[in-house]
Amino acid sequence: MPDFSPFDSGARSPVFFDETLVMLRDQIRRFVETEIKPHADAWETEGATPRALLRKMGDLGFFGIRYPEALGGSDLDQRATVVWAEELGRSTYSGVAITALVHTDMASVHIFNAGTDAQKSKWLPRCIAGEAISAVAVTEPGAGSDVKGIATRARRDGDDYVLNGAKMFITNGVHADVYCVAAKTDPEARPSQSVTMFLVEKGMPGFTVSRPLDKHGWRSSDTAELSFRDVRVPAENVLGREGGGFYEIMKNFQNERLVIGAMAMGEAQAALELTVEHVRGRIAFGAPLWEKQGIRQRLAMLSARVEACRQFIYSTASRAAAGEDVVREVSMIKALAGELVNDVMYDCLQFHGGMGFMRESTIERMTRDARVQSIGGGATEVMLEEVAKRM
């Protein structure tokens, strides 16, 4: 491996890093090396991350990093979330990474942010322990980043709501136990006041997985299309207030996009380390590829861009932890990291030559996995519009 640490600059800065975060990073890194890397090729073939692994993550406290100690969590801040996401990204198995990150930072977080005491008591201890896995169901065939375009309906009927509609591209969609589902409860209201979030539980009559989806990358993450046909959801399963779902979704988008940016940055760093090792050992025209000035300078520039992105992410996480409004910065991070990781993968695969094009190659898998980073969680174009609004 190359003789540098991807955390050196962050670890030297007391503003962004402290002893607790170093210990957390090291614990996650050991887990990745012993519990993920030796086994994850099989999970790529199977199309899902095993529940046994997720339960181990829960046992070690990884699923409770941001939750209060009273619920079984560690009560840490956004910097810890970034450490968690970056280390999972560095695993080189992004399907495993996104399975865990959706559960911790994109789905169960809705229960914590908007749930009643009863909802939290029922679900969060189980989610933190890894006994129950969560998913968030917002995206539809005709509504992705445009949350106001949601077509799924929820009609009040006595003590229940009746849900009808479909959701698309739902991570953990096949195997989750509880789903945070967005549906329109008042189509006549203003778009920002028409959406409500519901807790839909596996096994509710009329709720089915229409089909698992066959993806270009993230092969060890189960992704599904969901169907809701006259699903009766008790009114007590409303998350937050009726008509407040749009704001709940928007509220967590900032955390979600910061997490995805950190994951992408971890992927980019791992690809660089892998490629530096490769070009130092690959002999061409009588010398290692590392001796070619053009190659090592391109890798050096990519390394500089990744380090700049890392510092931006940790700075933003620190500001978020201090209660600052970082919508602009998070939108920048999502756009920047999503594009940067694809730039890194393109060059890293190129420098692996023909072997980089083979399915047996780690960099080939990583390149496929990285492609979605400029799409999922807010496409680059959408993020840049958010930035432009604030210029």
What the block records as the tokens of 265 is: 């940055």
What the block records as the tokens of 292 is: 């070619």
Q: Which amino acid is at 378?
A: G
DSSP secondary structure, 319-381, as one string: HHHTT---HHHHHHHHHHHHHHHHHHHHHHHHHTGGGGGSTT-HHHHHHHHHGGGGTTTS-HH
Torsion of the alpha carbons at 304, 309, 313 and 314, rounded to the nearest 10: 0
What the block records as the tokens of 355 is: 């072997």
Which residue carries 């169907």 as its tokens?
227
Taking a C-beta distance cutoff of 8 angstroms, is the pair 150, 192 a contact?
no
Catalytic residue ranges:
256
Between CA 236 and CA 248 the distance in angstroms is: 17
What sign results for the dihedral spanned by CA atoms 246, 168, 171, 205? positive
Taking a C-beta distance cutoff of 8 angstroms, is the pair 194, 247 a contact?
no
Q: Which amino acid is at 68?
A: P
DSSP secondary structure, 283-334, as one string: EETTEEGGG-HHHHHHHHHHHHHHHHHHHHHHHHHHHHHTT---HHHHHHHH
Q: What are phi and psi of 25, to 5 degrees?
A: -55, -45
What count of residues does the chain have? Answer: 391
Taking a C-beta distance cutoff of 8 angstroms, is the pair 361, 352 a contact?
yes
Taking a C-beta distance cutoff of 8 angstroms, is the pair 220, 96 a contact?
yes
- Which H or E run includes 261? helix 245-281
